[in-house]
Chain A
Amino acid sequence: MPKKETSVSEMEKMLEKLRNMTEAQDEEFSDQISKLEKMIDSRKEIEFSNLTPWETVQIARHHQRPVFADYITLVFTDFIELHGDRRFADDRGLIGGFARIDGAPVMLIGHNKGKNVSENVERNFGMAKPEGYRKALRLMKLAEKYNVPIISFIDTPGAFPGLEAEERGQAEAIARNLVEMAQIKVPIICVVSGEGGSGGALGIGVGDSILMLSHSIYSVISPEGCASIIWRDGAMAEKAAEALKITAGPLKELGIVDEIIEEPTGGAHNDYAAISRSVQKILIKYLKKYKGYSESKIIKQRFEKYSKIGVFNK
């Protein structure tokens, strides 16, 4: 947990004590309670508007942070999960299927993180294998055929670094998606909802608009990985998190993120309903934006968007 949250949580403990003391509904006490509540709220707001990148990393990885499965039920209706890559297996680390948002059909794909040990074991902590990326591609092609926009939710520590993943072509599976997603003829909207972990994130992250929750992260390498390579010391992760510019603000400045979705005070885990409303609202807005785009316009704009990414001298 980030240290800045401690002081707020201490205040919350005080509040809890006060509440327990006031079973007699004392007027004076309830006045104090509401004062304390207001203090906590404003304090939270100040503290969470000044998070360090490393603190943001902790919130992005918070065990109570809403995961893809939460957004599926809170933002969408009629979800029908479609399984398997038709080649090897059904990856539980990355799932997808048709759904509706505000009545309109979409294809949903996303990394499937869990919130407890048993969920995470089943879902491999949202780390997809080649069959996950190949399933995602199959579903995107299906979306193209059915003329349905694609929404992807990105929340993964990274693609699974395992023996069998390499054996079955993890690199090729991700690469193939990057090539194919450049040519998918329906709109693709990507939402970085938690951890955008490197190539494993990008494997479902090539889109026309990239949206990002305000306390999520998106990085070429984990801060820990970067620290151990560049500083030869994993403990320098805090420094790496800062240097890599992995939070929503800097990523928007770099032109990678199109719009930031503000999280409720304290982070998305504090108010599932509020963050779901915000995600729904912005998705509806972006779906409207692409409505009526011709196939060739979509492909052309996407190519131009990615052609422009990069900063160099000449």
Chain B
Amino acid sequence: MAWFSKSKKRTENRSADIWIKCPRCGNHIFREDWHNNLNVCPKCNYHSKITSYERIGLILDSGTFEELNISIYPADPLKFTDAKESYAVKVENTRKKTGLNEAIVTGTGKINGLKVVVAVMDFRFMGGSLGSGTGEKILLASNYSYEKKIPLIIFSASGGARMHEGILSLMQMAKTCAGISRLDERKVPFISVLTDPTTGGVSASFATVGDINIAEPGAVIGFAGRRVIENTIKQKLPDDFQTSEYLLEHGFVDLIANRSSMKNTLYQVLSFYNR
């Protein structure tokens, strides 16, 4: 999947769409430049969200990706209905809109010739929330790593557990971690890449327990929501609270890597795996 695959269509857009206003620095950036810079602001290095397939295009050697368990999609076990619509309808609409079946894409591929299993969350699918199908795909990916002794890399982008599946979502935290826990036994590497945002139940499960945790710059990473904490402590939190840089300072990520160098960073780290 080439990073540029969609750029042709973009040039045909209306002139109003030519510019992108960076949500962080407020600068207006030529859309083409923004896109060519991997959806990273050329002025302030703000890393905006990208889709799971775009990320796979950036990380894996061209033509090496083979997707696994693509057919898994959400059921509606609680018959959950919010103010607007049922979860089942929401899922159908989201599947149509995104072309995704779940909030994660999993498969195998190569990084500079090195075989890896990847699981890449996609924020477009219900905020990258962790549901039963998401958890199942992560477990199956880690089982594949376990059985074939191939390093596992998970890219997180998630607001947390998916409320619409109630307790079953909460239990996916335990389920995915049970899968991860077996990798140590066989000395299979597990690299966690935390991207914006990685919060709630995803931060409190597989995302923060990599052998090595790598974050993209400026990502929001944390357990409790900012407003919840501010309400609890009745004071305003520092601006850099729950950012990649804050986590690095407090010892919870190993390193921060720019999107443009992520593939090489992953390769460098895995090149030290000496088994």
Residues of chain A touching chain B, judged by Cβ–Cβ distance below 8 Å, are 159-163, 165-172, 174-176, 178-183, 198-199, 202-203, 205-206, 218-221, 226, 229-232, 243-246, 251, 254, 256, 302-303, 306-307, 309-314
B residues in contact with A311, CB < 8 Å: 75, 77, 132, 165, 168
**Residues of chain B within 8 A of A162, CB atoms compared:** 224, 229, 232-233
Q: Which of B19-27, B37-45, B171-179 lies at the interface? A: B171-179
Contact A182 B163 (CB under 8 A): no
Asked if residues A161 and B168 are in contact (CB atoms below 8 Å), the reply is no
Which of B8-16, B28-36, B204-212, B261-269 makes up part of the contact surface? B204-212
30 contacting pairs across A/B (C-beta < 8 A): A161-B228, A161-B229, A162-B229, A162-B232, A168-B250, A171-B207, A172-B208, A174-B223, A175-B209, A176-B209, A182-B174, A182-B177, A182-B182, A199-B170, A199-B223, A202-B170, A203-B204, A226-B163, A229-B163, A230-B82, A230-B163, A254-B77, A254-B166, A254-B168, A310-B133, A311-B75, A312-B75, A313-B74, A313-B133, A314-B72
CA distance A160 to B83 in the complex (A): 29
* Cβ of B226 to closest chain A Cβ, rounded Å: 10
B168 proximity list for chain A (CB < 8 A): 254, 256, 309-311
Would A206 and B174 count as touching, CB distance under 8 A?
A: yes
Which of these, A182, A199, A251, contacts B204 with CB under 8 Å? A199
Q: Which residue of A lies closest to B231 (CB)?
A: A161
Q: Are B73 and A312 in contact (CB under 8 A)?
A: yes
Contact between A307 and B139, CB atoms less than 8 A apart? yes
Q: How many residues of B contact A (CB 8 A)?
A: 62
Q: B242 at the A/B interface (Cβ < 8 Å)?
A: yes
Q: Quick check: A314 and B71 within 8 Å, CB to CB?
A: yes
B68 CB to closest chain A CB, in angstroms? Answer: 12
Residue with the highest number of chain B CB atoms closer than 10 Å, among A168, A170, A172, A312: A312
Q: How far is the CB of A123 from chain B (nearest CB, A)?
A: 16
Contact B204 A244 (CB under 8 A): no
Question: Closest CB-CB distance, B88 to chain A, in whole Å?
Answer: 10
Chain A nearest CB: distance from B198 CB in Å? 9
Point out which of B178, B205, B232 has the most chain A C-beta atoms below 10 A from its C-beta. B178
Q: From residue B243, how far is it (CB to closest CB) to chain A in Å?
A: 11
- Could you tell me if A166 and B223 are in contact, using CB atoms closer than 8 angstroms? yes
Indicate if the CB atoms of B174 and A178 lie closer than 8 Å. yes
Given contacts A179-B181, A182-B174, contact A310 B161 (CB under 8 A): no
A203 to B171, CA, bound (A): 11
